[in-house]
Copies of this chain bind each other. A is one copy, B any other.
């Protein structure tokens, strides 16, 4: 399949949410105009995004909600279950472990790890926090696909090295540290303080 730009993947992910809303409401078709206005874009952009993957629309009738949902789920790799391990059970890690949005999308939290004895043994929505010493063995036995990193910044790069060496190919990092991953690994970072700093810059520049 042709590589899709990240901006397109983002829009597909949004369209999927609207399609699921429509399905819950019992609606069978959706127009490109509806998808566009919900997603804050244009009908032309929606048609362009969707034509990329084949033909779904019927002129005058719009898109089939079920067929289009299914196709987008396939494209985004959401037709299967992704097994996710969280390392770090502090405030961010615990919030992630209990975030309903993940399970709904097929991201199943199969393990949460920490080095702090006070956290080990705690239950986070039914997942018991385990000792990080067990991580290497569990990455394989639990068949983990993705690791979420929620450890202090100085612990983050050694952790990336460790889990990628164990075969992990997808990492989502929440530690405020610039990380490097070997070729073939997809590493993304969410940095909440950085988001606030970009906001602060924008506000200060306007003032």
Interface residue ranges, A against B (CB under 8 Å): 1, 3-4, 6, 9-10, 13-14, 17, 38-40, 75-78, 80, 82, 84, 91-92, 94-96, 98-99, 101-102, 104-107, 145-146, 153, 169-170, 172, 176, 178, 180, 184, 186, 188, 190, 192-207
Q: How far is the CA of A193 from the CA of B195 in the complex (A)?
A: 17
Q: Which residues on the B side are within 8 Å of A197 (C-beta)?
A: 9, 13, 76, 78, 105
Q: Are A198 and B95 in contact (CB under 8 A)?
A: no
Taking chain A's interface residues, is the majority helix, strand, or loop, or is none over half, making it mixed?
helix
Q: How many copies does the complex hold?
A: 2
Q: Are B178 and A188 in contact (CB under 8 A)?
A: no
Q: Are B172 and A78 in contact (CB under 8 A)?
A: no
Q: Are A203 and B77 in contact (CB under 8 A)?
A: yes
Q: Are A193 and B102 in contact (CB under 8 A)?
A: yes
Q: Are A195 and B190 in contact (CB under 8 A)?
A: yes
Q: Which residues on the B side are within 8 Å of A40 (C-beta)?
A: 178, 180
Q: Can you report 27 residue pairs joining A to B where beta carbons are below 8 Å apart?
A: A3-B205, A4-B201, A6-B198, A10-B194, A10-B198, A17-B153, A38-B178, A76-B200, A76-B204, A77-B201, A77-B203, A82-B196, A82-B200, A82-B203, A84-B196, A91-B95, A96-B192, A102-B196, A106-B200, A107-B193, A146-B199, A169-B206, A172-B195, A172-B199, A186-B206, A188-B195, A190-B195
Q: How far is the CA of A149 from the CA of B10 in the complex (A)?
A: 20
Q: How far is the CA of A96 from the CA of B95 in the complex (A)?
A: 9
With both chains docked as a complex, state the minimum distance between the C-beta of A73 and any C-beta of chain B, in angstroms: 10
Q: Which residues on the B side are within 8 Å of A38 (C-beta)?
A: 178
With both chains docked as a complex, state the minimum distance between the C-beta of A55 and any C-beta of chain B, in angstroms: 21
Q: Which residues on the B side are within 8 Å of A92 (C-beta)?
A: 95, 99
What residue in chain B is nearest A194 (Cβ atoms)? B13
Q: Are B9 and A193 in contact (CB under 8 A)?
A: no
What residue in chain B is nearest A124 (Cβ atoms)? B91
Q: How far is the CA of A91 from the CA of B193 in the complex (A)?
A: 18
